[in-house]
Structure formats: C-alpha cells, structure tokens
Amino acid sequence: MQIKADNLTYKYMKNTPFEKEALKGFNITIPEGRFTSVIGHTGSGKSTFIQHLNGLLKPSSGTVAVGDWTIRADTKQKHLYELRRHASIVFQFPEHQLFHETVLSDVAYGPVNFGLSKLEAEKRAKEYLELAGIHPDMFDRSPFDLSGGQMRRVAIAGVLALNPKLLILDEPTAGLDPEGQVKMMELFYDWFQEKKERSIILVTHQMEDAARYSDEIVLMDKGTVKDQGRPHQVFSKAGELKAMGLSVPESVKLLSMLREQSGEDMSTAAFTLEETVDQVLEFLRKRGVSDRV
Amino acid sequence: MTYDIQVKGLSFRYHEQAPYVLKDISLEVKRGEWLAVLGHNGSGKSTLAKFFNALHVPEEGEVMACGHLTNDPSQHPFIRRQVGMVFQNPDNQLVAPTVEDDVAFGLENAGVPYDEMQKRVYESISRLGLSGLEKQEPHRLSGGQKQRVALAGALALRPRVIVLDEATSMLDPMGRQEVIATVQKLREEENLTIVTITHDVREAVSADRIIVLKEGRIEQDGTPQDILTNESALHQAQLKTPFAVQVAQELRKYHVRLPDNVLTEEELVEALCRLKQTTSHINI
C-alpha cells in the first residue's frame, strides 16, 4: 500500500492549555513494497506519524492516504476497520500486550476477530509461531511463562498472523541482546521479501539496522520531514544528524572521525564491516602507507 | 584489600524442579573497582545482581555485601543502604510527582532528618547534572534523564556500591551515552564501587574488569583488553565484538600494524593516523 501524507498536522490535547503540535504540515510519499526506516530524536513526531497509518490517530488537519483509504479529521471509525486488517503496528515492548491463557490462543485471537473460524485461525497461528521461532512444545503454555525474548516473538507472530500488507514496527529490538536483535530483524526482513507488495515502516534508533535493511530513510525533526533518501545519502550528513541529537551507524562514525582527524578527503559511506575495511585500506593507500611488502 | 562484594560457590534455581540459573559462582569485587558483568539475555546476569543487595539470598554458597552475610535478614536494611541499584525500565522506578521528591524518597524511608535530607537531595541532583529539573514531573523527562534521577535517588543514600542492572538497555543512543558518561564521572570523582550488568560491550570498555556469564557460569574474567579482543569467546557467549576491534582485526589481516590495545573508535582512528610517518607494512 502506498502511503501519502498531505499537509498532515496533528495537535495533542487540542484546545487546551497543553496543546502541542506534534506534526506540522507533514508531507511524504512512500511507495508500496519498500522497506523504510523513520529516524529522528525523541519527540520528533515519529510515533505520532506512524499511528496515523492505521487510523489510531486522525489528522487535526490535512490527510493521510494509505492504499485505498484516505484519513481526514472527520473520518469515521467504522471506515477504518478494514484498513486495520492490512496495516498493523507492532508497538514498543509488544510482549506487554499478551493476555490470553495459551500462546496459541493469543496468536489466534486477532485472526478470529477479523472473521476467521477458530480452526483456520489456529492453523495460521501455528504457521506464524513457527516462523517466529516458537517451538510447538510451547503452544499450550501460558505466554507469561516464557522468557522476554520468546514473549516478544509470540506477540509479533500475533501481528504477522493478521497477514498485513503494511507492517509498522516501533523499536522492535529494544532491550534484546545482540543475537536476539539480529534474529528479530532477519525475521522481519524475510517476511518483507516473501511478497512483492509487502511494505515495512521501521521506527528505530538503531542506525545500523536502518542502514542495513532500508530502501529509504526518512529523517524527522520537530514534526516535519527533514530528509528522505537512500541510506548512503542520509547518513553522509553525519554533522547534521549529530546536531539533531542523532547518531550515525558505527561504521560511518568511525570513518567520519578518521576523515576529520586526518584531514584526508574520503568517503564515509560504508555500512558493513567489509565496506569499512575497504575504505580504511583506501585511506592508507592514499596516505602512502600502502607500500607492498 | 577490602572487598565490597564477595561471592563463594553460589548456585541458584527459582524452585526445586527448575534448572540452575547460577552455577557455582565465585567472585570478588574490590572497593572502588568498576566491574562489568556481560552476558546475553537469560545468562543469569540480572539474577546474580539481585544477590548483591540481598534481593535474593543464597541457599547454596554465600554472598557477603560490604562485609555482611546476606543470609542474615537483620543485616538487610544496612546492606540495601550500602548497595544501591538502578534497574532497566526508567518508568518502573520513579514513584514521586517531582524529581526532588523522587530523589528524597529513599532518604525519607531511611529516616534521614529533614535538614540533612534537603542537603543530600540537592547535592545528589547537582552531581548528576539535573539542576533546574527539581520541580519537573519525572514522566516528562527523557529516558536518560529518568535513569539519572533513579541514580540520584540511589546515590543520595551514600552507598558504597552502585549496581546498574541493564540501566541503559531501554534508552536511545543519546540517553545511553548520558548515563555512561555519568557513571564514568562518578567513577573518577568518588571512591564508589560500580557494577554494571549489560549485554552491550560498548559499556564495558571503560570498566576495570569484565566477567562474562554464560548459562549461569563465569566463562571469562579479565581486563577489557583481554576480553573484548577475544572474538571467539565473545561469540560463544553470544555477544558482539566492539566494532573498532572487528575493524582492527580485519586490518591486521592486511598487515596493517596496529597496537593490540585498540578497543574504541577513538583509539583506532588515533592509531591509523599515526601510521602516517612509517611506510612498508601493508600487503594488499
């Protein structure tokens, strides 16, 4: 589903002394089938923006179009019911939303709600639980007896089982250990690649993930879009990001420091270990430390 | 040598049929030392931390905190004042309507007189760079600020030991940096003993000593230098080698001559820039 925000403005606690404009005439187009990361400092409006994408929030003014749905200030809730089958949000710490008696019934809850029979819903729940790396032994256990990482996988299986076209992820790897983080991102990326029409919007502070998986990065600042482009473009402006209180991927940070300290003109566009090593070797060659033994 | 924490032969499981989460742990933390406990989720590191201030008490083995056995319940109030803890979730440990009230909460419980309390609250707030936020509501602060308020509350009790149990894992990069910088500052300015529990190797870089836990056992015990450059040991413990160490190791394969003690980006850049004067030690 294509996403298009047109002059989108959102005010929290409208018409009260606490009124705060979180999105200020926000414009953006994100084509279908893309992996897009949204980055920005805490309070830049990232979470407010993504909550518009399945109608949890409605614009104070302006519009958001998601696929065939257009959401305005006066859009009725019942008009959005169908949209929510196709656009799903995984909130931060989704394991806090588990509630059912067993792992299986928790995951099947959403599909049943959207009209599947119990049998069909459980079949689909099993499929996505296995995809999320939950062993069938655990299906009949209480979700609250699982480890934190497993609980999160169950919660995410519950969202994937709705078979959305657009998956919106808010800091999905926060609090996981390094291996857990990689596994979680691979799970989403595999899901994303399986079908051409699937899209992901990832809100993250993990710049390495944003750089590695995204087709495009959206940089938000003070309720507006500050920059939108491929990871190489957005992360080439390390100074600007730093001024906004953001970090860059560690590879970019290392190369930027090297460039600054040496005064050598060099590219800082590298997101993997191999690319970084290549850039450093290139740097050494340029400096004449590259005599072959 | 004074030890603030001494653990001998500690094993632990949550109930009788459950598997052991800690297996025969022995370790000592010196007065004034900064110990980082590294391990992946489920390695037992947070469970271990709870023994340091008697939130758990041993059934097998023994734990001494600031010279007292934690098995003795009559010592718990003393131990808990001496060993302060900051936990993972900033939203779960702030209780009062304002920052200053929150910092005062522990002091009030400990029965510290009002005048003394006021003095300590403002001292603690200013030490952690929170001046100006005294009247703020904690829930309006950033994650990094919230964790510093929690730390201020712990420090106001003037403990000998501070344990940070994954205190940065829920923060954004700026917040994490804020908290780490604060810990480094405390480390330099006072004779505090610090234990940081983490799965983020970057936080362990400036510790004096690191232990690596895996499946409830101490797998490694050494300096950051020893541990963080040992890629296979870190990998086995499901931890990530610091990025600068990874790059340095790759560069050495191309015969770039780098010192062994490169742990951070700063150190690597420094070393690379120094290579300028010399020639002929690269083979591509």
Q: How far is CA A74 from CA A23, A28, A62, A134, in A?
A: 18, 21, 11, 42
Average pLDDT over residues A2-21: 91
- A194, A282: one domain: no
Q: Check: CB of residue B35 under 8 Å from CB of residue B88.
A: no
Does B68 or B141 have the greater pLDDT score? B68
Provide mean pLDDT across the span B246-274. 92
CB B164 within 8 A of CB B183: yes
Whether residue A72 is found in the same domain as residue A187: yes
In this structure, the answer to whether residues A289 and A162 fall within a common structural domain is: no
CB atoms A205 and B276 under 8 Å: no
pLDDT band at B278 (very low <50, low <70, confident <90, very high): low
Do B212 and B39 contact (CB within 8 A), yes or no? Answer: yes
Distance from the Cα of A250 to chain B's closest Cα (Å) equals 7
Q: Give residue-wise pLDDT tens across range A204-225.
A: 989 999 999 999 999 999 999 9
Q: Is the ipTM beyond the 0.85 threshold?
A: no
CB contact under 8 A, B174 and A41: yes
A47 and A171 belong to one structural domain: yes
pTM for this entry: 0.83
Asked whether residue B283 carries a pLDDT value surpassing 60, the answer given is no
Q: Which one of A42, A289, A293 would you mutate to disrupt binding with B, by most B Cβ within 10 Å of its Cβ?
A: A289
Please state, as a whole number, how many other Cβ atoms lie within 10 Å of the Cβ of residue A188.
21
Mutate which of A39, A177, A256 to test chain B, going by most B C-beta atoms within 10 A?
A177
Structure tokens at B186: 């405390």
pLDDT digits (tens, 9 = 90+) for B89-114: 888 888 899 999 999 999 998 899 99
The answer to whether B255 faces chain A, any CB pair under 8 Å, is yes
Pair (A140, A188) in one structural domain: yes
Q: Give yes or no: residues A184 and A171 share one domain.
A: yes
Residue type, A91: F
Distances (CA, A) of A213 to A35, A116, A169, A184, A226: 7, 33, 13, 12, 20
| 3 state SS of A87 | strand
Question: Is residue A149 domain-shared with residue A285, that is, in the same domain?
Answer: no
In B32-51, the residues whose Cβ lies within 8 Å of chain A are 40-42
Task: Please state the rounded mean pLDDT for residues A51-63.
Answer: 94
Q: How much is the mean pLDDT over chain B?
A: 90
pLDDT tens digits for B42-87? 889 989 999 999 999 999 999 999 999 999 999 999 999 999 999 9
Q: What is the pLDDT of residue A59?
A: 95
Q: Is A212 on the interface with B (CB under 8 A)?
A: no
Same domain (yes/no): A217, A261: no
- In chain B, residues with a C-beta closer than 8 Å to the C-beta of A183 are none
End-to-end CA separation in angstroms for chain B: 51
What would the 3-class secondary structure string for A164-228 be?
CCEEEEECCCCCCCHHHHHHHHHHHHHHHHHCCCCEEEEECCCHHHHHHHCCEEEEEECCEEEEE
Q: What is the per-residue pLDDT for B61?
A: 96
CA pair distance B156, B136, nearest whole angstrom: 18
Lowest mean pLDDT among A188-197, B107-116, B174-183: B174-183
Whether B247 and chain A come into contact, CB under 8 Å, resolves to yes
Look at residue B276 in the predicted model and tell me its pLDDT. 64
**Which value, to the nearest 10 degrees, does the dihedral of the CA atoms of residues A258, A263, A264, A266 take?**
60
Give the pairing type, strands B60-65 and B68-69: antiparallel
Residue A81: pLDDT above 90? Answer: no
B272 vs A contacts (CB less than 8 Å)? 258, 262, 280, 283-284
Report the amino acid identity of residue A119: L
Instruction: Flag whether pLDDT at A146 surpasses 90.
Output: no
Return the minimum-mean-pLDDT range out of A46-55, B27-36, B174-183. B174-183
Tell me, yes or no, whether A224 and A269 share the same domain. Answer: no
Q: Tell which residue, A109, A247, A85, A245, has the closest CA to residue A163.
A: A85
| A281 contacts in chain B (CB < 8 Å) | 251, 254, 256, 282, 284
Contacts of B239 in chain A (CB under 8 A): 177-178
- Strand positions, DSSP E, A53-177: 61-66, 69-71, 87-90, 166-170
One-character DSSP codes across B17-39: TSPPSEEEEEEEEETT-EEEEE-
Please list, in sequence order, all residues whose beta carbon lies within 8 angstroms of the beta carbon of residue A101, skipping any fewer than 6 positions away. A142
Query: Quick one: pLDDT band at residue A31, thresholds 50, 70, 90?
Result: very high
Integer Cα distance of A1 and A183 in angstroms:
26
In whole angstroms, give the CA distance from residue B138 to residue B150.
10
Tokens 């983490």 label which residue? B198
Check if CATH label 3.10.580.10 holds for domain B3-224.
no
Q: Which of A292, A214, A191, A179 is CA-nearest to residue A39?
A: A214
A72 φ, ψ to 5°?
-125, 180
Residue A70 predicted with pLDDT over 80 = yes
Sheet (strand B3-12) strand order = B22-30, B3-12, B60-65, B68-69
Range(s) of the domain holding residue A277: 249-293
pLDDT at B269 over 60: yes
Q: Are A216 and A36 in contact (CB under 8 A)?
A: yes
Q: Are residues A265 and A195 both part of a single domain? A: no
Q: Assess contact for A202 and A46: CB atoms under 8 A.
A: no
Shared domain check, A175 and A62: yes
**Sheet with A69-71, side-by-side order of all strands:** A20-30, A3-12, A61-66, A69-71
Name the residue ranges covered by the structural domains of chain B. Answer: 3-224, 242-284
**CA A47 to each of CA A10, A29, A168, B263, B281: distance values in angstroms, whole numbers, following the listed order:** 12, 17, 10, 35, 51
Total domains in chain A come to 2
Residues A56 and A189 in one domain: yes
Task: Please tell me which residue of chain B has the smallest CA distance to A92.
Answer: B170
